[in-house]
Structure 1
């Protein structure tokens, strides 16, 4: 039993970190006046199935403890309480500035700022005659916005400052289906997998999501590839002292579970020159190649897609509306590249592409990576096989659909 002020349980996913926090919070609920609070970054994360509030309900329902929904608090016969809170924004700390706790817990500490964490020390208080220890307990996987400060405070400084760091391992949780979970983690990019599987605090996503040697260079792609061309748009010309984004268009094909980057267009220019490139490229790729353009949020993004749909009459054009950040979208591509399933068809574009993707996500630009990630998503959705696509094209042609377009 740890009675030190600070302790952190961090490392591999699946080690039972959340359960450990809840058990620590429950440790003194038989003591009158004991008050504990456990934080997640957002309220939505607190109420997820299997998350802290759900787990507490499983453990405490049927006991003498009473749940008060309006307070998000369990009340115990002794008068002790355990409350669930969140600190979504920096200003949320002030909602607790008049509170008093003997225990504060942080689940997924790397999602919090150091200021939010340190503020809770001001809320740790107890009466003079109390023997309840003042404790802050936290748990997290490596990674996340707070990775650096959490690593510095507990992994690097740790014991030298009286802070206990307990490494979390997958084997710490005997109830977990270890084999199935490892299989699931193998779908992640190498850096995230190293963090979550092995609890490696030195594994960082700093330009190491991709390695250039993972990509095999071939002279041609198989004849039966099904292709998409996905564009990441920018419309700013380069100038002195300026380093604007690029317009990038990735032509990606799939055949027998392998992916082939056949071509990558990349340019900086005016909106007119970008439009001319997209139209010319569509003509070169042919009508069997589906065209996707990233749609920015709002009316402006929709208007741009509508405009290009008219300009590319006769070709299949669809908007691509990303719902995740660039690193998340690139993760499955990284996994496929590491497995040796992504090939590059020899061309003058390859060196620039490899330089950019090897530096991602820390490089100056990520337009080609984003274009590839978007193309990969479109090829990975069900029923996008080459045969199904060509059968659809043939059927539409027979029905006299001049635009050869799918809804």
Structure 2
């Protein structure tokens, strides 16, 4: 069977280019049901169209591909447009009225949509050997499962019965698609072929990655890395809880808190950040004045922290999370004796999970008592905070939690953070 399927790819005049390695894996599967994709740029639309065209040399073969709306089908570069690019110069015939290609063998490839739940009944009397769904997570599970009733073939036919789907994570159907293909998956003979941007040699990867980096963290993780686990929202922070302001009181209490990392960025890696939050408190309200973050070497981190401390002024106490064990003690000792000598510098041995430490900040933000002073760091912070604790990074949130903890001084605390005498010099 695989030899037959392989021939339907290599000798097919309607498929204009050779499939990628991942696409070939998808096309050669001998299972009823398979999902292709995950990350953006993996060539899922081409894979789905190739799969539909594999058996158009067989008389009476019928394939159909669905999108959720007609607009999705008709967009430039979408499947119907792509089919025209592939087939307009061939001997296949296009019917605009039926949105259907007919091949010399009598085989057909139809494009259709399922905008409403009732639309699935438009195909009640139809018969297909191939049913495809592009962007499956945009559909209801009931629509997808109903179309299985349309999958059938004549007795003795060698054409396999196939349901082939392509999708990125996210969308209204994310959970049921994940359950069907990633959780139940191979146990139910449903194969997920994971394809990412690096699996597609036909795209300009660098340019596409730069475009994806402009997305919000959730969508970026789903499309760039094909992450099915990241959830749509964290449960700690909402964007509208934070009010962005132009200025802050100058006679409050100020701290700078650092969450350390010391890893340079490398191709294909997404290391943690060193992040330092400058926060002030007055009358039970809190202003986040600045969050500085960077990815650099340990020496670069030292220079960064010294430069920021000098910029903040010696009146601002500097706090740093102390990692457990002797290595953490050594780092703190080095900063006390060398890097921040002459500054009010304090180690912080944290306890509890990151989520627990963020709870007081979350409560204060929800009550409207945390303000963000306008700056270039704000969007990055809000992206991270609203994804927390499900996002890929939490360094800025950790630094904010630490700063808040140092300012939220209770009566039973032995040491308080002193107010800045004469005020903090305003940041430019």
TM-score, scaled to structure 1:
0.54
Aligned residues: 239
Equivalent pair of 2:288/2:370 in contact (CA under 8 Å): no
> Is 1:72 aligned to 2:99, yes or no?
yes
Deviations 1:273-327 (A, max 9, x none): xxxxxxxxxxxxxxxxxxxxxxxxxxxxxxxxxxxxxxxxxxxxxxxxxxxxxxx
- Give the corresponding residue for 1:350: 369
Which residue among 176, 184, 194 is the counterpart of 1:149?
176
> Is 1:178 aligned to 2:205, yes or no?
yes
> C-alpha distance in 2, partners of 1:184/1:178?
10
State how 1:5-404 maps to structure 2 within 5 Å. Answer: 5-207=32-234, 220=247, 349-351=368-370
Aligned-pair CA distance for 1:217? 9.5
Aligned-pair CA distance for 1:174? 1.1
The secondary structure found in structure 2 opposite 1:131 is coil
Equivalent pair of 1:25/1:103 in contact (CA under 8 Å): yes
> C-alpha distance in 1, partners of 2:72/2:96?
16
CA RMSD of aligned residues (A): 3.4
> C-alpha distance in 2, partners of 1:121/1:350?
54
The secondary structure found in structure 1 opposite 2:64 is strand
> C-alpha distance in 2, partners of 1:189/1:209?
17
Aligned-pair CA distance for 1:161? 0.6
Which runs of 5 or more structure 2 residues have no equivalent in the other structure?
A: 1-27, 250-286, 290-364, 373-380, 389-428
In 2 relative to 1, CA 155–209 (structure 1 residues): closer, same or farther, beyond 3 Å? farther
Deviations 1:243-297 (A, max 9, x none): xxxxxxxxxxxxxxxxx999xxxxxxxxxxxxxxxxxxxxxxxxxxxxxxxxxxx
In 2 relative to 1, CA 349–30 (structure 1 residues): closer, same or farther, beyond 3 Å? same
Aligned-pair CA distance for 1:3? 2.3
> C-alpha distance in 1, partners of 2:235/2:165?
28
> C-alpha distance in 2, partners of 1:50/1:221?
50
Deviations 1:157-196 (A, max 9, x none): 1001110111121112211111111111111111110000
Equivalent pair of 2:39/2:226 in contact (CA under 8 Å): yes
Deviations 1:78-102 (A, max 9, x none): 0000000000100000000110000
Equivalent pair of 1:191/1:209 in contact (CA under 8 Å): no
> C-alpha distance in 1, partners of 2:225/2:386?
24
> C-alpha distance in 2, partners of 1:150/1:93?
18
Equivalent pair of 2:243/2:371 in contact (CA under 8 Å): no
TM-score, scaled to structure 2:
0.51
> C-alpha distance in 2, partners of 1:221/1:24?
60
Equivalent pair of 1:189/1:209 in contact (CA under 8 Å): no
Which runs of 5 or more structure 1 residues have no equivalent in the other structure?
A: 223-259, 263-345, 362-407
The secondary structure found in structure 2 opposite 1:220 is coil
The secondary structure found in structure 2 opposite 1:127 is coil
In 2 relative to 1, CA 352–149 (structure 1 residues): closer, same or farther, beyond 3 Å? farther
Equivalent pair of 1:210/1:358 in contact (CA under 8 Å): yes
In 2 relative to 1, CA 360–198 (structure 1 residues): closer, same or farther, beyond 3 Å? closer
> C-alpha distance in 2, partners of 1:23/1:359?
39
Equivalent pair of 1:11/1:168 in contact (CA under 8 Å): yes
Bigger-Rg structure (1/2): 2
> C-alpha distance in 2, partners of 1:72/1:146?
26
The secondary structure found in structure 2 opposite 1:28 is coil
> C-alpha distance in 2, partners of 1:130/1:205?
45
> C-alpha distance in 2, partners of 1:52/1:80?
18
In 2 relative to 1, CA 174–210 (structure 1 residues): closer, same or farther, beyond 3 Å? farther
Deviations 1:55-99 (A, max 9, x none): 000101111100011010000000000000000100000000110
In 2 relative to 1, CA 198–210 (structure 1 residues): closer, same or farther, beyond 3 Å? farther
In 2 relative to 1, CA 359–199 (structure 1 residues): closer, same or farther, beyond 3 Å? closer
- Give the corresponding residue for 1:317: none
